[in-house]
Amino acid sequence: MKKQSKFILALLVGFPLVFLTACGGEEQIEEAVEEVAVEEVEEGNQAYYQIPSPDEMFGFIKESGLAFNGELLNPVQNVGNYSEPKMQALNFGIYCADLAYTAAFEEFNETTKYFGTIQKMSESVGLSSAFDKSLIERAQANLDNADSLVQITNTSYFSIVDYLDQNEQGDKLGLIASAGWLETVYVIANSTNYATDKTAVDRLADQKLALDNLLDYLDKYKDNKDVAEILVWFNELEAVFAASPEAEETGGGISFKKKEGGKMVLGGGSKSTTISEDQFKAIRDKVNEIRNNIVKIEA
């Protein structure tokens, strides 16, 4: 039997740090990061690939003292300008990460707007089945309840990933996940001062490991022309990251591993590296270039 690939986005958009805090606080987070993560987990006929969730990344930069910058978001007004299927999938991923960004910083007026935008885009992306009527009604009834809205948002994301997985649309999931991950790196790179925000700089450097996992996953769908084009962009970014020193083991980061009973659990044990100011600027410039290719208005 051919081995299948399952992409665990830790969740592209899912299980955020704010949700863990709301449901159990710091103790639950500490228990989660005690698990030892691996870059690829194979069980039976499946392989799992992990990248950090936008929520985990944005929760980290909030705790690091970096300020929310709404100007970095892709404006919701742009949503109607993406008509080509590839661009719709990519910008769906961008908007998912922007939603996570607003939620992590408790900008819930913006969170509501981006949830509505994702719901609107779900039809054109072929994901309307992931948003059932009850979920939408719950969101509408809890617009003034921050904790509930975050939980509802998480549920919608798990539905998206599960739907794509169950319907064997790994190529589309790869596009959405790639753009979502890129948006988190874009926000961090453009919110960070190299001279004063060393912890954030190191977290940015760590993303080489996430990018390697992302490229491994995308490579399985390289026969898809849209994925092949994105692979060119992200391989160029990997070449910029490759100039960074070798990573060293740390206890930070969140990924997933398979445990007894088939459940996926959060895990720590990522690697960490450092970069020079020139490398930081080179990574930021390449990320900005790719991100601009995605969010630009179609002619």
pLDDT digits (tens, 9 = 90+) for 94-129: 998 898 888 878 888 898 888 889 888 988 898 877
Mean local confidence (pLDDT), 160-168: 78
At 150, the pLDDT band (50, 70, 90 cuts) reads low
Tell me what percent of the residues of the chain surpass a pLDDT of 90: 35
For the chain, give the mean pLDDT. Answer: 73
pLDDT attached to residue 38: 32
Residue 266 in tokens: 């959060």
pLDDT attached to residue 144: 64
pLDDT attached to residue 53: 57
pLDDT attached to residue 239: 96
**For residue 230, which of 77, 50, 94, 58 has the smallest C-alpha distance?**
94
Inform me whether the pLDDT recorded for 248 exceeds 70.
Answer: no
Distance of CA 11 to the CA centre of its chain: 7
**For residue 82, which of 299, 298, 292 has the smallest C-alpha distance?**
298
pLDDT attached to residue 218: 93
At 240, the pLDDT band (50, 70, 90 cuts) reads very high
Structure confidence by residue, pLDDT tens digits, 181-207: 999 999 999 999 999 998 899 989 989
Mean local confidence (pLDDT), 52-77: 81
Structure confidence by residue, pLDDT tens digits, 11-64: 343 333 332 233 333 333 333 333 323 334 444 445 555 555 566 667 777 777
Identify the DSSP state of 4. Answer: E
Buried/exposed 127-139: b ≥16 CB within 10 Å, e otherwise: beebbeeebeebb
pTM of the model: 0.76
Task: State how far the Cα of 267 lies from the Cα of 256, in Å rounded to an integer.
Answer: 5
**For residue 279, which of 191, 181, 167, 204 has the smallest C-alpha distance?**
204
